[in-house]
Amino acid sequence: MTEQHQLDKLDRQILNILQDDATTPLAEIAERVHSSPATCQRRIRQMQNDGVILKQVALVNPTAVGRSLSVFVAVEVESQNPMLLDKFVRSLDKENDVVSCYEISGEHDYLLLVHAENMTSYHQLTRRIFTSDNNVRAFKSQFIMDFNKVETKITL
Amino acid sequence: MTEQHQLDKLDRQILNILQDDATTPLAEIAERVHSSPATCQRRIRQMQNDGVILKQVALVNPTAVGRSLSVFVAVEVESQNPMLLDKFVRSLDKENDVVSCYEISGEHDYLLLVHAENMTSYHQLTRRIFTSDNNVRAFKSQFIMDFNKVETKITL
DNA sequence: TATGAAACCTGATATCT
DNA sequence: AGATATCAGGTTTCATA
């Protein structure tokens, strides 16, 4: 998480590969970027230390694990008081179905991504966290009907 | 990608671990779930074949790779003609800055996540793809001011 | 039929030039 | 930075319940 030197072409090529498949062996990476395994290894470690690579994770199919209802929820808060905003955000940590929370500009304040088991459990979730007690004035559910493109990759 | 048997507790525990850190050694996984490395290995392979685990990827910090402007774009299309919808979605594939595209219910049709270098490059992107030629009636940019919680993990 | 122990072998890491 | 040696850890086999 130290200060980062500018990424060069080699770094970017390695990142493109690892963002597609983090299990790619160093020997294959080296071949594809025309370098050596040792050099690739050093670059990767450097980028991990610099916080360029945040972590390596397994991506799971929500439907296959019983979360077949996915929703973007646009939330409008009652008060912009920092303590109340913080309280709202922290209340999401306990909620397994809330995968992400972004603070956004515009008419809404937050955009959440939720993976729920079904409509009943989603409804219960909304009753639990989108309350005026929790500093929420209003919320709008945008149900995801199709995942046309869901990448985590930032192509460089 | 075959038909999937029901996931048991062991599978779910393994998924929770791999969604946090896909580099966790099998020996450590085995210890934490009170099983053996061989069994954990077999379960993981099974879930990969069943499409429960989609892939393993490196997550990259957008800011650290020069994409410091992140935007959710709500897009409303002109026509619901399937061919035109498909054409719009396919036009996004070429765009490196467009990370995901969800088809949603409500007043808008699509929600895109974009990681752009800066406002200038984002503006150029909007001129390129959010055009009436591309079946777009209107779009609304929701700039991300803070990533309060950005997970890929579906806690089981 | 699924598990755990142990052998085996690939590939990650450290050292040296 | 690249080549080599070492060692950790992933994979296969086999025995067992």
Average pLDDT, 10 consecutive residues per value, chain B (156 residues): 76 97 96 96 96 96 96 97 96 96 96 98 98 96 94 95
Nucleotide nearest to A23 (CA to C1'): C11
Protein residue at shortest CA distance from C1' of C4: B36
Question: How do residues A52-71 score in pLDDT, each as one tens digit?
Answer: 999 999 999 999 999 999 99
Kindly determine whether residue A65 and residue B151, on different chains, have CB atoms separated by under 8 Å: no
Q: Is the CB of A46 under 7 A from strand D?
A: no
Please, which residues have CB within 8 angstroms of residue B123's CB and are 6 or more apart in sequence?
Answer: none
Residue among A98, A149, A154 minimizing CB distance to B65: A154
CA distance B136 to chain A (A): 16
For A63-143, the fitting CATH number among 3.30.1360.30, 3.40.50.11540, 3.30.70.260, 3.30.70.920 is 3.30.70.920
**Predicted model pTM:** 0.92
What's residue B5's pLDDT?
Answer: 72
Between CA A15 and CA A20 the distance in angstroms is 9
Domains B9-49 and B63-143 share a fold: no
Within 8 A of B57 by CB-CB distance, chain A residues are: 18-22, 56-57, 59, 152-153
Continuous segment of H or E residues that includes residue A9 = helix A9-20
Which one of B56, B76, B145, B155 makes the best mutation probe of the A interface by having the most chain A beta carbons within 10 Å? B56
pLDDT above 90 as % of chain A = 94
For A9-49, the fitting CATH number among 2.170.190.11, 1.10.4190.10, 1.10.10.10, 2.60.120.260 is 1.10.10.10
User: Helix or strand or coil: residue B137?
Assistant: strand
Q: How far is the CA of A38 from the C1' of C17 (A)?
A: 14
DSSP secondary structure code for residue B16 in this structure: H
Is A3's pLDDT higher than 60?
A: no
Instruction: Dig out the tokens for A112 from the structure.
Output: 């959440």
Q: List chain C nucleotides near protein: any atom < 7 Å from a Cβ.
A: 2-6, 10-15
Assess contact for B153 and A97: CB atoms under 8 A.
no
The structural domains of chain B, with segments of one domain joined by +, span 9-49, 63-143
